Every structure is written in C-alpha cells, then in structure tokens.
Structure 1
Amino acid sequence: MAASSAHSFANYPSLQDASVIVTGGASGIGMEIVRAFAGQGSRVAFLDFDVDGGRLLAAELQDGGGRVQFEPCDLRDIDALRRAVAAVAEAHGPARVLVNNAARDDRHSWEDVTPEFYDERIATNLRHMFFAIQAVAPGMIAAGGGSIINLGSDSWWRAGGGFPVYTTAKAAVHGLTRGMARDLGPHRIRVNTLVPGWTMTERQKRLWVTPSGLAAQLAAQCLPDPIEAVYVARMALFLASDDAAMCTANNYMVEAGSI
C-alpha cells in the first residue's frame, strides 16, 4: 500500500516556522523526517556525515521552497556536534524540536566485539543523543518549552540477535528519555521515544531484506503491509507538535503490532 495514494496526512500549524534539528537526516528514516518537517513549513536543519547525500537533499528541498540547512557533522565528535547546533541556532534560531535519529544497525557477532568496537558503536548509536539534548536544552528553556524525540528500535523488545551492541544502545535510549523527561519537564520540554519496527529503507532493502525475512516480518505484524519510513516521520511530526502537549516520558510505537 503506497502511503501517498492511500492516506491523507495531517498538517500541524504549530510546526510552521518552528526551528527543527534532525540528526542523521541524509538518508533512510531521517531523510523522511526532514522531508516531513520541510513540508510543514518548519525551518529544518539536519546533521549527517554523508556530505554528498546531505547536500543533495538540502538542494532538492530548497529548490522546492523549503527552508532547509545541512550541517556536515560526524556525531561521534561531540565538539563538532556542538558547533553544528550553534550554527543552526545562528541561522534558524534555537531549536524548538530535536529529533535524535542518527544510528547504524550494522550486524556483528558477540564473539568478535572488542572494547574499541563497543565504544565506537555506543558513540554512534547513543552518546550523541545525550550531548545533542545538552546542546539544545538551554535554548528550549529560554523559549519556554520544546520537544525532544529519541529514536529507539523494536529490535531489543523482540529479543533480536545479531547486533548486541546496537540493541544495548537502543535499550538505553529509553532510560535516557525517561530521565531527561523528568529533568526537563519543569521547563515544558517533552522527551519521548519513537520506536520503529523493521522499516523498509533503501539501506535495509539493499543489505538485509530477503523474501523469506520479509515474509516472517509481515507474519509477525498485526497489520499486513511493510512499514515505510513515511509513517515513522508522521509520528515524529505529531510528537513535535502542540497536539502532543501532554505527551512525555513515553514510547510511541510504529511497528504495525509486531511486539
């Protein structure tokens, strides 16, 4: 079922002109999130180490009239992350919305994990989320509120194997969300976890989707259709909007009923 032909999606007036930061926005789910915010008239900036992909997306959306800023950034470098957030604030104003999307679910065997690999995977999939929150929170506090959306994963809920450091990091995202929701809540900053199921991005289809694997996934879901990134992006819009004003410290699942 094609989302564009089957559904009429909502428009959120509260996202018009909102300053938004998306990490890992050059491809996959992140790209769809960037597109979705641009379509709402937000001032959207995205951070990614894929320079070519980031520039192409920014040029495409700017040609379409969007106010889009691409900041090349390796999120494992926290000083670079802080500089990128500062550059976005200078261009678009302090972020009202942060979508902590960036992650890589590269497969690996538990027997082969070294301390160095473990640390690098945690830096890739978890550490930058905290420091992005730390970087944007002062501006949100000064503005009187904001929304932070951390991307989780259904993989650890389903006891998925084959990438143990990834599932460790993604499980930890929920602790980050809950703790920061408590700390930032008095400032009317909401913090939630958006939990996608197995989403059919180009990377997933290129590397890991097989006919048998997809059939098993669809059999596990309550709904019969593959999960497309656009549906994850639409949940991000809701959580960012004023419609979700009383939603915080919680998990919002887009996994077609597979857990």
Structure 2
Amino acid sequence: MFPVYPDLKNKHVLITGGSNGIGEALTRTFAQQASEVTILDLDKDKGLKIAKDCENLNCKVNVYSVDLTNTSELTKTLNLIKQETPIVDVLINNAGYDPRYPLLEMSEEEWNHLFQLNVVHYFITCRELLPDMIKAGGGSIIMTSSHVFWIAKPDMIAYNTTKAAVIGLVRSLATAAGKHHIRVNAVAPGWIMTERQLEQWVTPEAKQKTINELQSIPLELTPDELMGTYLFLASESSRAITRQTIVVDGGYAQS
C-alpha cells in the first residue's frame, strides 16, 4: 500500500507517542523504509516489543521511556538522545489525548495538563532538536493536529484549542525555519479507529454515522490510512512543501 522512499533509508526518525495507535503505525511504517526510529513513550514495554518486531526488517528502533508532560524529564531525555543516536532528520510530534467535557466543566489543572501533552511537548522537542537540524542543513518536522479544529465539536473545546495551537506553531515555525531548509507541516487526522478510540469513545451508531453520513468517502479510517501522508512529508518528495496542514479524514471537515 505504501511507496518506498529511498531517501528515507538510514534517516533518523523520532516519534513521540510511538508505542501505540497512530504512533505505533508510524514506527512500523518508517521501520519498513529502513529508517532508524526513536520512540518517546511512557509505554516502554510495548515500545520494546515493537523494536523486537522491527529487528526482522534490519531496522534499529530506540526506545526511551519518558513522561512527555514533564518538561525537565523530557529535556533530559532529548539531551541523552542527542548523545546516543544520530542527528534527528525527521521529527514527528504525535502524542496527544482527546478527552470530552461538557462545555468548560474541567479544572484548570486538567486544562493545563492537556496543553502540556498536546502542545508544550511539541515545543520542547522542536526547541531541543532544531539546532542540530540546522547544522545538518535541513530536515522535516511533522506535527499531528486534528480535523476537529474545523469541526469544533462542543464537548472537545480544550482539545480543539490545543490542536489549533499546533497549527499556529506549524505555520510560524515553518516561516522561521524555512531558510535552513527545514520543512514544518501538520497532518490533521479524522476519527481514526485506534484501540484506545474503540475502547473509550466509539459506539456502533457513532461509527456508522461518521462513515456513511459525515464523511464524503464511506471508509473506516485506520492508522494505515495516514501513513502515506506522513511518509510523503518526511521524504524529499515534499521538499518544496512547508507551512501546510493536510487533512486526512475522508472528506468530513469542511474548511
């Protein structure tokens, strides 16, 4: 299903939240491209299992267990990665969470914690890894946003706001980093049927309505439906593309 991008061979790809859901699919997909992959995720056991599986592809997968909401811990881990692995060529900020709340019935602590995961860790990884990307002469940064930015679901106000912030970060950082041949783009997935979504939020009725009534294409969206977009944005095939958000949702959101 996915093309092979020869320029991704031996490139170092760092993925936050790379042990589960979309992140797991990203890790396995870039391993199939013969990239070296580094996972940042609290779920170290799952990450190590994925790394073991990827040995059959002659791909090295490095696993670092870190709480992405802990800024000091994340910064220390990134400094360790810079000492132990090659310069990151492709940074994929992917980890996030999508809680539901009636109106704004959430605490300030819950609001801030969501921003720590969905926005602040994106900023920290960029801040820490960009200098070496600049020295290397270029790279690609891909951030996971959401089609919810356009749909604006009323029970996801905090989540919508974090994903709007990601798009703002992408646009500004792309403008600032472009002169260094660093591309910055976002992928905005639709409702992707990951294990967590199926366990926490998906009902048969909501799923069927989304696929058959709300999407233009009646297709169940799995993490695999996103992989071609991430690969393209990571490769030199997209070297003239930056500051963009690509929506992958079967034609649900109307911008």
TM-score by length of 2: 0.95
Structure 1 185/119 Cα, relative in aligned 2: closer, same or farther at 3 Å? same
Q: Separation in 1 of the partners of 2:234 and 2:2? A: 15
SS at match of 1:205: helix
Aligned length: 252
SS at match of 2:151: coil
Pairing partner for 2:129 from 136, 139, 142: 136
Pairing partner for 1:87 from 59, 77, 80: 80
Q: Separation in 2 of the partners of 1:147 and 1:237? A: 11
Pairing partner for 2:97 from 104, 108, 122: 104
SS at match of 2:178: helix
SS at match of 2:148: coil
CA RMSD of aligned residues (A): 1.3
Partner of 2:115: 122
Q: Separation in 2 of the partners of 1:230 and 1:164? A: 27
1:81 Cα shift?
A: 1.6
Q: Is the 8 A contact 1:98 1:148 kept in 2?
A: yes
1:150 Cα shift?
A: 0.7
Asked if 1:59 corresponds to 2:44, the answer is no
Aligned-partner residue type, residue 192 of structure 2: T
Aligned-partner residue type, residue 34 of structure 1: T
Equivalent positions of 1:27-42 (< 5 A) are 27-42=20-35
Pairing partner for 2:245 from 238, 243, 251: 251
Pairing partner for 2:217 from 212, 223, 226: 223
1:63 Cα shift?
A: 4.6
Q: Is the 8 A contact 1:149 1:191 kept in 2?
A: yes
1:225 Cα shift?
A: 1.0
SS at match of 1:112: coil
Pairing partner for 1:15 from 8, 12, 15: 8
Q: Separation in 2 of the partners of 1:47 and 1:143? A: 22
1:64 Cα shift?
A: 4.2
Equivalent positions of 1:58-77 (< 5 A) are 58-77=51-70
- % identity of equivalent residues: 35
TM-score by length of 1: 0.93
Q: Is the 8 A contact 1:43 1:92 kept in 2?
A: no
SS at match of 1:26: coil
Q: Separation in 1 of the partners of 2:86 and 2:134? A: 13
1:188-230 residue CA offsets vs partner (Å, 9 max, x unmatched): 1000011100001111111111111011111211111111101
Partner of 1:3: none
Partner of 1:239: 233
Aligned-partner residue type, residue 76 of structure 1: T
Partner of 1:169: 162
Q: Separation in 2 of the partners of 1:136 and 1:124? A: 18
Aligned-partner residue type, residue 204 of structure 2: P
Q: Separation in 2 of the partners of 1:125 and 1:87? A: 22
208-217 vs 26-35, which moves further: 208-217
Q: Structure 1, unaligned stretches of length 5 or more?
A: 1-7
Q: Is the 8 A contact 1:199 1:228 kept in 2?
A: yes
Q: Separation in 2 of the partners of 1:233 and 1:83? A: 30
